[in-house]
Structure 1
Amino acid sequence: MARQVVPARETRRIDRLLWMLRLTRTRGAAQDLVCEGHVRVNGRRVLRCSQAIAIGDIVTLPLGEMVRIIEILDLPSRRGPPVEASAQFRDHTPGVNASVSQEGEAS
Structure 2
Amino acid sequence: MENEGTAGSVRIDAWIWSVRLTKTRSQAADACKAGHVRVNGARVKPAHTISAGDQVRLFHDGRERLVRVAKIIRKRVGAPVAVQCYEDNSPPPPPREFTAPVAIRDRGAGRPTKRDRREMNRLQGGAKGL
- Is the contact between residue 39 and residue 57 of structure 2 (CA under 8 Å) also seen in structure 1? yes
TM norm structure 2? 0.63
Offset at 1:49?
A: 1.0
Instruction: For structure 2, list consecutive stretches of 5 or more residues without a partner in the other structure.
Output: 1-6, 94-130
Say whether residues 1:69 and 2:66 are aligned partners.
yes
Between Structure 1 and Structure 2, which shows a larger proportion of strand residues?
1
Q: Distance in 2 between the 1:13 and 1:25 partners?
A: 16
Partner of 1:52: 49
Structure 2 residue 77 is matched with structure 1 residue 80: yes
1:52 aligned partner, one-letter code: T
Counterpart amino acid of residue 11 in structure 2: R
Is the 2:14–2:28 Cα contact (8 Å) retained in structure 1? yes
Bigger Rg over Cα:
2
Aligned twin of 2:37: 39
Note the residue ranges of structure 1 that are not aligned, 5 or more in a row. 1-8, 97-107
Any conservation in 1 of the 2:66–2:88 contact (CA below 8 Å)?
Answer: yes
Per-residue CA shift, 1:45-103, capped at 9, x if unaligned? Answer: 11x2110010000000112222110000001142110110111000011337xxxxxxx
The CA RMSD measured in Å over matched residues stands at 1.3
For the Cα contact (< 8 Å) 2:9–2:51, is it kept in 1?
yes
- Under a length normalisation based on structure 1, what TM-score does the superposition of the two structures give? 0.76
Instruction: Give the Cα–Cα distance (whole angstroms) in 2 for the partners of residues 59 and 38 of structure 1.
Output: 10
Q: Runs in 1 of length 4+ with deviation above 6 angstroms?
A: none
Aligned twin of 2:127: none
